[in-house]
Amino acid sequence: MGKMATREAYGRTLQEIGADEKIVVFDADLAGSTNTGRFKKDFPERFFDMGIAEANMVACAAGMATCGKTAFVSSFAMFATERACEQIRNSVCYPRLNVKVCASHAGITVGEDGASHQCLEDLSIMRSLPNMTVLCPADAASARMAVKAAYENDGPFYVRLARLATDSVYGEFGEDVDFTLGKAHMVKDGTDVTIIACGYMVEQAVEALNILESEGISARLLDMHTIKPIDKEAIIKASNDTGCIVTCEEHSIIGGLGSAVAEVLVENAPCPMLRVGVKDEFGRSGTPGELMAYYHLTGADIADKAKQAIALKNK
């Protein structure tokens, strides 16, 4: 299976669905990086480069949506969600318009661009907005299905995309994989601990499964590609079946996947739970591999957390 970044899968999927004349695409002078340039090449009359003006971009997309268009807007996650937060809130989510914010270069694997470009707060911001659906696909195949789900369902969507090419978890780009909006995908079943991951961290969690299996530990892995609405049923079942949970996200541990899972557990099925993610700090400049190790987000780190969770369960 080849590597492909989810941002590239996004661009290819826009090409795939672009024949629908209701689709319009907006970008903030980053079409080469976000991969919306593919849509621009095929459908230039429905592509709008708004320059470095994300707030205006979102407002214009909202206006198009009031006229019956399906609007996709793209920039780096840092700028799409934080420069344009007020417009996403008031112009998109409040009137529940059909705008899809598909933001690339999320998380620390942006790498050498450093803290100013490494968005670690976007999931927290977007999941707090009423009417917003939040997706964080793991690989190219699931990114394709996530973008198609956003296209096929009315209303505001946030799709988190990565710069770094990742291994295939589901299959090759172009395949229709097992992706159901709002439902976690069980990558592997297990009985001793459940690992719940999203985005690039699913690849790292697969590595953790191999480590744990070599030590005789049976781990369940759930890809929680839909952060909102989160799959409460799968979380509650995981708590009841395995007795402890580890969440993994390339995001701050405040407000993201870990927080969403904890909210479900505390109200429905409390169990020992530990979080793998960036602590309350900004990113740094470095290669993706260096940063994953520095922030303790590797497969080995996840495996260690899983063993700690099991120890807490057994106390």
Reduce the DSSP state of residue 248 to 3 states and report it. Answer: strand
Catalytic site residue from 54, 203, 249, 250: 54
Domains detected in the chain = 4-166 (3.40.50.970), 185-314 (3.40.50.920)
DSSP summary character for residue 156: -
pLDDT for res 265: 98
Q: Which residues are paired to 5 by β-bridges?
A: 165
Strands 4-5 and 165-166: antiparallel
pLDDT for res 240: 98
pLDDT for res 2: 72
pLDDT for res 178: 85
Q: How many CA atoms lie within 13 A of 8 on its CB side?
A: 14
Q: What angle do CA 159, 160, 162 make, to 5 degrees?
A: 135
Residue with token string 């009315």:
154
pLDDT for res 245: 98
Mean pLDDT by 10 residues, the chain (315 residues): 88 97 97 96 97 97 98 97 97 98 96 94 98 97 96 98 92 85 97 98 97 98 98 98 98 98 98 98 96 98 98 95
Q: What is the rounded CA–CA span in Å between residue 227 and residue 212?
A: 26
What does pTM read for this prediction? 0.96
pLDDT for res 92: 98
Contacts of residue 205, Cβ cutoff 8 Å, sequence gap at least 6: 187, 195, 197, 221, 248, 299, 302
pLDDT for res 297: 98
Residue 54: active-site member: yes
Closest by CA to 102, choosing from 117, 125, 81, 124, is 81
Q: What is the rounded CA–CA span in Å between residue 4 and residue 103?
A: 16
pLDDT for res 57: 98
Q: How many CA atoms lie within 13 A of 24 on its CB side?
A: 22
